[in-house]
Amino acid sequence: MLPLSEPVLEQPPTPEDPSEQTPPPDVTDEEMKAQPSPAGRTGFWPVLRNPNFLALWLAEIFSQMADKIYLVLMIALISSRFQVEGQPISGWVSAIMIAYTIPAVLFGSLAGVWVDRGPLKQVLIWSNVIRGIMVLAIPLLLYLTEGQTWLFGQPVGFQILLAITFLVSTLNQFFSPAEQVVIPLIVRRSHLLAANSIYTTTTMGATIVGFAVGEPLLSLADTLLEQVGMGEGKEILVGMFYVLSGLVFIRLRLRPRDRSHMSDRHLWADVLDGLNYLQQQPLVRAAMVQLVILFSVFAALAVLAVRLAELIPNLGADQFGILLSVAGLGMGIGALLVGQFGQRFSRQRLALTGSVGMAIMLAILACLEPSMAGSVVCITTLGIFAAALGIPMQTVIQEKTPTDMRGKVFGLQNNAINIALSLPLAVAGLAESWLGLTATLLGLSAIVLLGSWLSHNRTG
């Protein structure tokens, strides 16, 4: 259980930049964000001078790396301990992925509501520390259950991995909305676009590094610890990433929030409040719809990339990760561009440009003769336009949602996005089998344009 008491806040030292000082208790978050940013302070520099944001960012790096390498760790453990020679690993991995996905669908909204009620800083700390402790405990648990079977004759050790994966994902449902709630509390409204750009770049960078070099990093950790007479370096590496993320969050300075008005309310009442709020706020609702479409498209691309890699000369289906990596690279580049120059344009104009650009790139990719160079250019550019769509829309949700509604809204957002990430994994493969790769990519292009047109029309 996460603690329900907020720690006593110590007054932080005054930063060098007066624009980043923690506001006095009688100044609300909304008033702080409404204050104009000092002239000429644009781009990343004002955000990077904010010590609160730096602590949040460093913790995010550790947490993201742990999340991405965790799945690589599970595959390595399955391969070395449970997979029988000649047996495909896909069934084992599918079970792990299902265990990781279920909490996102079941608990996303309720976790967001709890974040509105609970102590933010403690949620951020303990959701990571507990995950780290569970991962660090894996070697001992597997040792104690070695050779034992339980339900359906499956190894007890593998069922322990399923249970830990389920719990790790469940804690992530608390961590994600809490993190999104904190960003607008510690960053000025005028700096939110840059802050979200840094976060998107970090996420994309962790995705590339985690999936591309996760296995070498785990092997290196094993090798280094074996030299000092210790084993199980893989679990120690991932577990310590989670623990370090939680410890860095201790440096955050957050003012206690007034949650007295929520004490007698049922959790489901707050979930309904979040849904009602979205119904009454077309801008927030439209931004969330576009984010759901964006994540759906990229989930579908994760499946279609296997077929595309198979069609590209001198590239095999098992090398589809190269195509996904360049999409992440494109999003990282796009995030840097949006963070540095995006303040010159309205959020809606940036999002419209991103939507149209994504639709064009998907159409070109559909009609292009499969080739390595052409596919890499198209997918990288697609990633750049995706950042131009996603970052402004995430910023709109943060800007337009009042403090006491953020947990509810971000919980619903995480719920919707997790469903959007899950369904296309099943549908995209079937669509490609029935309609072909070209028609499926053109269909995705049409969905992006339709979603953008509907959102633009309903918001004016």
Model pLDDT for residues 3-35, shown as the tens digit of each residue = 443 333 333 433 433 333 444 333 334 333 433
Q: Give Cα 378 distance to the centre of its chain.
A: 23
Is there a contact between 425 and 434 (Cβ–Cβ < 8 Å)?
Answer: no
Is there a contact between 347 and 190 (Cβ–Cβ < 8 Å)?
Answer: no
Percent over 90 (pLDDT), the chain: 21
Supply angle C-alpha 262, 264, 269, rounded to 5: 70
Torsion, Cα of 129, 135, 140, 142 (10° steps): 150
Is there a contact between 29 and 185 (Cβ–Cβ < 8 Å)?
Answer: yes
Helix H or strand E encompassing 454? helix 437-458
Do 265-459 and 50-253 fall under one CATH topology?
yes
* C-alpha distance from residue 94 to each of 100, 142, 322 (Å): 10, 20, 21
Of the listed ranges 19-28, 63-72, 386-395, the one predicted with least confidence? 19-28
Instruction: Look at residue 421 in the predicted model and tell me its pLDDT.
Output: 67
Q: Which DSSP state fits 188?
A: -
How far apart CA 244 and CA 246 sit, in angstroms, is 5
Of the listed ranges 119-128, 365-374, 393-402, the one predicted with least confidence? 393-402
List pLDDT tens digits, range 338-369.
Answer: 888 888 888 889 999 999 999 999 999 999 88
- Just give the CATH number of 50-253: 1.20.1250.20
pTM for this predicted structure: 0.70
Is there a contact between 441 and 131 (Cβ–Cβ < 8 Å)?
Answer: no
Count of beta carbons in the 10 Å neighbourhood of residue 434: 9
Instruction: Look at residue 222 in the predicted model and tell me its pLDDT.
Output: 79
- Specify which of 94-103, 240-249, 320-329, 428-437 reaches the highest per-range mean pLDDT: 240-249
* Residues 6 or more apart in contact with residue 130 via CB below 8 angstroms: 171
* Residues 6 or more apart in contact with residue 344 via CB below 8 angstroms: none
List pLDDT tens digits, range 145-177.
Answer: 888 887 777 889 999 999 999 999 999 988 988
pLDDT at 229 over 70: no
CATH homologous superfamily for the domain 265-459: MFS general substrate transporter like domains (1.20.1250.20)
Instruction: Look at residue 177 in the predicted model and tell me its pLDDT.
Output: 84
Compute the average pLDDT of residues 122-145: 93
> Domain spans of the chain?
50-253, 265-459
List pLDDT tens digits, range 307-330.
Answer: 888 888 887 765 666 787 788 888
Using the Cα atoms of residue 433, residue 436, residue 439 and residue 440 in order, give the sign of their dihedral. positive
For residue 129, name the pLDDT band (cuts at 50, 70, 90): very high
Q: Which DSSP state fits 403?
A: G
